[in-house]
Amino acid sequence: MRSSTLKTLGLGAAMLAMSTVAGIAYAASERYDSAKDHIDKAIALLKATEHAEQSAAEKGHREHAIKQLEGALEQIDKAKTAADRPKKKDKDKDKDKDKKGHKGPHKDKDHKAHKHD
């Protein structure tokens, strides 16, 4: 009973952290850091539930929960990195399209070069 309560607490904390991150766009960096802190605490709680009489099923589920939370930490890092990137203005996007799409003078494969005599 004790371990299932701690598992629920840990997973609940992770879900709360993720929902906090997903719902708020502003002050992203601080919120991502807070979410990571909550997940770190959940992982610590789950690791603290390990004991000698632990069943294989309990151990397996606990370890799986820890792996999932560690994966959530990686995703938060990626989301934070994406949020920290400067956003391009529409003008900058158009300039980038022009640079990528322009390859010099237009040369159609069916169009032969003209020789001037």
Output the pLDDT for position 40.
97
Assess contact for 65 and 46: CB atoms under 8 A. Answer: yes
| Residues with Cβ within 8 Å of residue 60, at least 6 apart in sequence | none
pLDDT at 16 over 60: yes
Least confident among 7-16, 64-73, 80-89: 7-16
| Percent of the chain with pLDDT strictly greater than 70 | 53
Output the pLDDT for position 76.
96
Output the pLDDT for position 87.
75
Alpha carbon 87 to chain centroid, angstroms:
18
**CA distances, 28 to each of 22, 34, 37, 41, 94 (Å):** 10, 10, 14, 20, 27
| Tens-place pLDDT, residues 23-44 | 545 578 899 999 999 999 999 9
Output the pLDDT for position 21.
46
Which region holds residue 88: left if phi is over 0, alpha if psi is between -120 and 50, else beta? beta
- Name the pTM for this structure: 0.53
Q: pLDDT higher for 27 or 54? A: 54
| Percent of the chain with pLDDT strictly greater than 90 | 43
Distance CA 42, CA 34 (A): 13
Pinpoint the alpha helices (H) of the chain. 2-23, 28-48, 56-84, 90-101
Domain 2-101 has CATH 3.30.2420: no
Indicate the residue type of 44: A
